[in-house]
Amino acid sequence: MGTMRPMRVLPGKKLPGHMGVDTVTIQNLVIVDVNAQENYILVSGNVPGAKKSLVLIKSAAKNERKPMAEELISYEETVVDNAEATETKEEN
């Protein structure tokens, strides 16, 4: 007839339930190319979902990140300055 106690389902017991059909949002993907003639959009990054499924594309909700430093420190100028400084010291 089954066990006598406990006469309830204990918390955390694995039970069957609904799985799947979740809405997934991936942020800040980059659109690389749009081809209207062949009806496709090329996106840089992973797009969740099955093949041939519908994808909703919206503008970014969060601000873009600050760009990294574009110009690196140039040591050539300092070398030229040091060479000129040594030349002026030799002249004195």
Report CA-CA distances (Å) from 62 to 1, 12, 17, 28, 31: 58, 36, 34, 8, 16
Output 91 or 24, whichever has higher pLDDT: 24
Position 14 scores a pLDDT of 92
Identify the band that residue 43 occupies on the pLDDT scale cut at 50, 70 and 90: very high
Give phi and psi for 57, each to the nearest 5. -115, 125
How large is the average pLDDT for residues 33-48? Answer: 92
pLDDT at 42 exceeding the cut of 90: yes
Q: What is the mean pLDDT of the chain?
A: 80
In 3D space, the residue among 24, 67, 29 whose CA is nearest the CA of residue 46 turns out to be 29
pTM above 0.75, yes or no: no
Q: Rounded distance, CA 26 to CA 46, Å?
A: 8
Q: Rounded distance, CA 38 to CA 88, Å?
A: 67
Q: Rg (Cα) of the chain, in Å, rounded? A: 31
